[in-house]
Amino acid sequence: MPKSRLPIGYVVQVDGSEVTLNLLDKHRGSLASHGYGVSVVTEVGSLISIEAGSNLLVVRVLSVSFAEPREVHRAARGKMYDAAEPLRHLQGVVVGKLIRQGGTLSFLSDSLSTPTLGAEAYPLVPEELSSVLGKVGDASKPIYLGDDLRGGGSLHIGLQDFISRHVAVLGSSGQGKSCFTAAILQQIVNLEDARVVIFDINGEYSDAFNSDKFDDDWIKVTQLGGDEANSIKIPYYALGRHGLHKLLMPSDKTQRPALNFALDNLNKVRWFPLHGGAGLVNDAQPVLFDDCRQQGAAEAQVRINTLRNNQATDANQWPHMKALSALVADSYSIGTNNRGGFERNAFNYNNVQPLVTRINRYIEDEMFCDVVDVQGGVPNGDRLRWSDESRALITRVFGGQRENWRVHIVDLKRVSQDLMPFILGALLEMYAYELFQRGQENKIPTLLVLEEAHHYLRPMGSGDEASTNALAYERLAKEGRKFGLALWLSTQRPSEVSPTVLSQCNNWISFRLSSEKDLATIQSASEWADRRDVKRIAGLPRQTAMVFGGSIQMPTLIRAPVADPLPRSEDANFDSWGG
C-alpha cells in the first residue's frame, strides 16, 4: 500500500457481499487526497478498496448514513469526547478483487470474497481504477468510452470485446446518443479494413465525418430515395419474395396463394401501359387485368393455365409493379359460369380485392415511389431471378468482399415512418439470407449501426404473422455474430424494440430514460443491470450515461465523449427569436 495513501475507514459489519464501514473523522466529506491526487470515496456509485492480505477487495458504494456512536469504534478522546456525535457509516458491496501478478495489475470479478472485521479501506489510485473499469483487450485497438464520474480516470475497452456481441445505446431525445455513437465511430474509422454501415434515420451522420481528419475515400453516403447523384431507388422486385410479402401483408387463406402465384410468374409476363393490363411475352395486347371486367375471361384463363403448367416463355425485363395486381386478380377470380364457360367471379374477386387495392395504393403513393422504383427494368444477370436482384441490392448497401469505404452512411430521411418497418425490414431480411448463404468461411466483419431502431425492429401485425415478420432481424441478432455481423442498436424506446433482439446485446450504454416501461425493459433484457443502477438512469444529466454489460467489469457512470465534428442533431436555436 503506498505510504502516501491513508485509510478512510474500517470494516465494522459483513453481511454476505455487503459490508459496512465506519468512516474516520477526517474523511466525513466525499473526497480523499493522496499522493496521486484526489478520489471520490463516499459518493454513491464510487469505488473504494479494502485490504485483504496481498490483494485488495474492490467495493462499490451503495449508501452513506449516520449511526449512533459506539466508543469502541474510535480512539478515546478523554473528557473532550462527545458521545452524542453520530458516526458516519458507508454501505457497499464487494464487486471483485485486484491481483498483482508479475508486475501486472488485474481485476477479477468476484462477489464471494469478504473482508475481515477491522480491515482498513483506502481510495483507489488511477492504475487500480483503470484495471477495474474495463478490459482493454487488444492494447493496439482500445476504444475510449468516456470519463468515469465516480472514481476519475477514463474508461477504455478493446474493440473486439466491445462490439463483437452487439451494443445497445439507449436514451431519450437530446441526451447524447447520436453524439456518443459518432464519437465511437470516429475512432473506429481510423482502423484499416473497418466496415461500418449506418442506417441513418434522420440524415445526421454525414456531418460527423465531414472533416479533413478522414480521407474522402473512407466515407460513402447513399441517400435512399430521390433523384440526387448519390441516391438509389430500390427496384420493387429487388425486395424479393419475403420483402414483398412483408410489404403487402396478404391474408393466409386466399390472398397469400394468389400473391405466391403472382410472384412465381412475374418473370413471364409483360406490362402494357397504354391498356393498363398484362400479358404473356408473345401477346400483342393485354389479357390479364385487375378490375374484374367480364369480357376476355376465357382468354385470360388460357394464359393462367399456361403459367400454371410452366409453359410460358421467360421475359427479358421485369414488368411494372402493377402486373402483380393483374396476376393476383385473374389467378383467383376466374371460374366457370352456368353455360360452362369462364367468367370473372365477383365473389372470388372480393376475396383478393383488398390485396389488389393495397398494391395499387403503393403504386399511387408518391412517398413510396420516391423510395421504391415500381416501373420495372432490366435484370442483374442474364435471367430474371429474385436472388440476383436481391444480391445486387445487398452488395450496393452493405458492400462486397472488398470496398474502399470504411463507413457507409445510408441516409433514410426520405423514407416515411410508416414505410420503415417494411422497407428496412425487407433489407434486413435479404441481408440475413445473404449472410447465411455466404457461410462462416466467407464472412466479412461488419458493424451495422441501426439508428432509432424502435421504428423498424418491432413485429408487424399480430399472432403468427408478427412472428414471421420478426424472424429476419431476430435471427440476425441471434446468429449474425457467427457470420461476421455486429449490431449497434440506438433507440429512444427500448420497450418498443423486439425483446429477442435486446436480449442478445452484450454491452449497454444508457443515457437518461424516464419511462417506467423502458426502464423495466432494460431490467428484464440485461442480466448485468442491477435494480439500483437501473433506477438511477431516470435521473442522469445530459451527456452522462450508465455503462454495463458482459465486457464491462461493473456498471460505470461516465461522461460521454463529444464527437468532433458533431452529427447534425443539435437543438434548435430558440434564442434567435426576437432578433
* pLDDT tens profile 86-129: 678 889 989 888 888 777 888 887 778 889 999 999 888 878 87
Distance of CA 27 to the CA centre of its chain: 44
The average pLDDT across 50-57 equals 86
* pLDDT tens profile 312-330: 999 999 999 999 999 999 9
Q: Is the pLDDT of residue 575 over 50?
A: yes
Confidence at residue 193, expressed as pLDDT on a 0 to 100 scale: 92
User: Are 231 and 224 in contact, with CB atoms under 8 Å apart?
Assistant: yes
User: Are 332 and 348 in contact, with CB atoms under 8 Å apart?
Assistant: yes
Q: How far apart are CA 208 and CA 266, in angstroms?
A: 43
Confidence at residue 80, expressed as pLDDT on a 0 to 100 scale: 45
Confidence at residue 2, expressed as pLDDT on a 0 to 100 scale: 47
Name, of 105-109, 476-480, 488-492, 521-525, the range with top average pLDDT: 488-492
Query: Please, what is the average pLDDT of the chain?
Result: 87
Among 257-261, 362-366, 468-472, the range scoring the smallest mean pLDDT is 468-472
Confidence at residue 291, expressed as pLDDT on a 0 to 100 scale: 95
For the chain, the residue count is 579
* pLDDT tens profile 396-409: 999 988 899 999 99
Q: Is the pLDDT of residue 32 over 70?
A: no
Beta-strand (E) ranges in 118-257? Answer: 120-123, 142-148, 154-158, 167-170, 196-200, 219-224, 231-232, 234-235
567 Cβ contact list (under 8 Å, min separation 6): 178, 179, 181, 182, 204, 205, 207, 208
* CA distances for 209 relative to 220, 244, 564, angstroms: 10, 34, 8
Confidence at residue 347, expressed as pLDDT on a 0 to 100 scale: 93
User: Are 272 and 322 in contact, with CB atoms under 8 Å apart?
Assistant: no
pLDDT band, very low/low/confident/very high, at 429 (cuts 50, 70, 90): confident
The average pLDDT across 15-24 equals 89
* pLDDT tens profile 174-185: 999 999 999 999
User: Are 421 and 391 in contact, with CB atoms under 8 Å apart?
Assistant: no
- Residue in this structure with the C-alpha cell 428496412, named with its chain if needed: 424
Q: How far apart are CA 213 and CA 386, in angstroms?
A: 41
DSSP SS3 for 280: strand
* CA distances for 206 relative to 146, 185, 460, 542, angstroms: 23, 12, 30, 23
Q: What is the DSSP string of 104-133?
A: EEEEEE-SS--PPTT-EEEEPPHHHHHHHH
The average pLDDT across 287-311 equals 95
* pLDDT tens profile 516-551: 999 999 988 887 777 878 888 999 999 999 999 888
pLDDT band, very low/low/confident/very high, at 36 (cuts 50, 70, 90): low
pLDDT band, very low/low/confident/very high, at 140 (cuts 50, 70, 90): low
565 Cβ contact list (under 8 Å, min separation 6): 207, 208, 209, 210, 211
Confidence at residue 219, expressed as pLDDT on a 0 to 100 scale: 96
pLDDT band, very low/low/confident/very high, at 256 (cuts 50, 70, 90): very high
pTM: 0.83
Q: Is the pLDDT of residue 481 over 70?
A: yes
Q: Is the pLDDT of residue 78 over 50?
A: no
The grid coordinates listed for 107 are 481485476
Burial class (CB in 10 A: 0-12, 13-18, 19+), 216: exposed
pLDDT band, very low/low/confident/very high, at 192 (cuts 50, 70, 90): very high
Q: Is the pLDDT of residue 279 over 80?
A: yes
Q: Which residue has the higher pLDDT, 468 or 506?
A: 506
Confidence at residue 562, expressed as pLDDT on a 0 to 100 scale: 94
pLDDT band, very low/low/confident/very high, at 69 (cuts 50, 70, 90): low
Per-domain boundaries in the chain: 9-133, 156-231+477-572, 236-373
pLDDT band, very low/low/confident/very high, at 359 (cuts 50, 70, 90): very high
Topology, domain 156-231+477-572? Rossmann fold (3.40.50)
Q: DSSP alpha helices (H): ranges in 378-461? A: 386-398, 420-438
Element (H, E) at 101: strand 87-101
Q: How far apart are CA 302 and CA 310, in angstroms?
A: 12
* pLDDT tens profile 545-573: 999 988 887 788 899 999 999 998 877 77
Among 197-201, 266-270, 533-537, 559-563, the range scoring the smallest mean pLDDT is 533-537
